[in-house]
Amino acid sequence: MQADVLILGAGPAGAIAALNLAAHCRVLLLDRLPEPAQRIGESLPPAARRLLVDMDLWQAFVAQGHAPCYGNRSIWNGEWAEQDFLRDPDGHGWHLDRTRFESWLRAEALARGAALLAPATPLSVARLEGGWQLLVQTAAGPVQLQARLLIDAGGRASLLGKKLGARRTRQDKLVCVWLYGHDRGETPADGLSHIEATEHGWWYSAALPGKRRVLAFHTDADLPPARRFRESGWLAKAVGEAPGLAALLDRSGFSADSEAHIAAAHSSELQPAAGDAWLAVGDAALGFDPLSSQGLFNALYTGLAGAEAGYRHLRGETAAIADYRRQLADIAQAYRDHLRLYYREESRWADAPFWQRRQGASDR
Ligand SMILES: Cc1cc2nc3c(=O)[nH]c(=O)nc-3n(C[C@H](O)[C@H](O)[C@H](O)COP(=O)(O)OP(=O)(O)OC[C@H]3O[C@@H](n4cnc5c(N)ncnc54)[C@H](O)[C@@H]3O)c2cc1C
């Protein structure tokens, strides 16, 4: 099987790269999952609207019926704050039904001409003159694929980038434990994300479409709370340490109805994140701390930027990949600067390792 561009990962970044390239060349998307899995990561900031409009996806996105997000409520450094999106030129943000969002992006990529091979995962990659040869495990057994350009959109594992010799560096040890549930009563903070700092990390909750709610806690993998993540009922009990959020859950009649899940949530980078006839997009290139709420935006943005760089590369523009690397470096720098500022605003627990680690002179 031959393609011009082979994209590993049909998540948000891979689907966006595919739907932008499919009008110009043969695109093959690979994913280990036949359908997107349920996963955390539902806050989409207002600025995503511009990208969706540019890619002619906006009307179809709105028709998906995701819940509007009117801003963030936080208890940070002991102060309640509300940052609303009223004056944002892009309007409000969104609390997504994440599975619906990902299924829709995959479908858009296919509608625009990309092909999808799933479940499929690469076993080996070899450089050929003018491109690549991959051995890929599929449901029907191993198959050989050839492509002129590879895009790693496989998320934080950066499987393809690592197979090509790049290294993943992490800046911290952040992990997240979360569960889903539903609100039975009124939801006073409907349409607002809630963020609350505590001694060992920070909490997050958001109301989702259909009276669903996500509840999450973030700390470092080597700190005591992380050792209790797997204890049954721990998360629902521990939220008592975040009084603002506990009161909100009480008022909204929140009741958990899923198991607790655990995910890596550290800041990390693939180095390099692009090279000779390959590039990485989304989390495969840059993994963001969820406090930034920028992971999905970055997946859409770099999916589009990576598609543009890939298209220029296929047309023989030798600077395309280096230009893309510079774009990624600028994004990473802006991300680190913002994140550092935000963590430093919390000064109540100067002796607590979680906060000490985030308040040094530099995070690098
Ligand atoms: C706890 C947590 C909370 C978050 N909350 C938010 C939030 O509220 N808002 C926000 O904007 N972002 C959030 N994020 C970040 C956001 O989820 C990611 O930035 C986003 O999913 C990145 O999209 P992606 O397409 O790059 O990668 P992914 O979504 O990880 O997609 C990767 C795809 O590659 C496939 N794949 C992986 N390995 C292989 C393989 N070996 N073979 C074949 N296929 C493979 C996967 O099945 C998947 O479909 C959060 C992240 C975490 C960890």
Distance 143 CA to ligand 1 centre (A): 26
pLDDT tens-digit readout, 22-46: 999 999 999 999 999 988 999 999 9
* Closest-lying ligand 1 atom to the alpha carbon of residue 120: 43
Distance CA 53, CA 46 (A): 12
Pocket test for ligand 1, best of 6, 7, 8 (most atoms within 8 A of CB): 8
- pTM of the full structure: 0.95
Distance CA 64, CA 61 (A): 5
Distance CA 31, CA 8 (A): 6
Say whether pLDDT at 186 is over 70. no
- Domain coordinates in residue numbering, the chain: 2-42+97-170+268-339, 47-95+173-265
Q: What is the mean pLDDT of the chain?
A: 94
Q: Atom 15 of ligand 1 has which residue's CA nearest to it? A: 295
Least confident window among 88-97, 121-130, 164-173: 88-97
- Of 86-90, 128-132, 329-333, 358-362, the range with the highest mean pLDDT is 329-333
pLDDT band at 320 (very low <50, low <70, confident <90, very high): very high
Q: Atom 28 of ligand 1 has which residue's CA nearest to it? A: 155
Q: Atom 48 of ligand 1 has which residue's CA nearest to it? A: 11
Say whether pLDDT at 362 is over 50. no
Provide the pLDDT for residue 122: 97
Residue type, 142: P
Say whether pLDDT at 256 is over 70. yes
Residue type, 336: R
CA 6 to chain centre: 21
Distance CA 193, CA 48 (A): 17
Pick the CATH number of 2-42+97-170+268-339 from 3.50.50.60, 3.30.2010.10, 3.40.50.300, 2.30.40.10: 3.50.50.60
Cβ atoms of 28 and 6 within 8 Å: the answer is: yes
Q: What is the CATH number of domain 47-95+173-265?
A: 3.30.9.100
**Residue 221: helix, strand or coil by DSSP?**
coil
Q: Please give the share of the chain, as a percent, with pLDDT higher than 70.
A: 98
Provide the pLDDT for residue 135: 97
Q: What is residue 85's DSSP assignment?
A: S
* Closest-lying ligand 1 atom to the alpha carbon of residue 39: 17
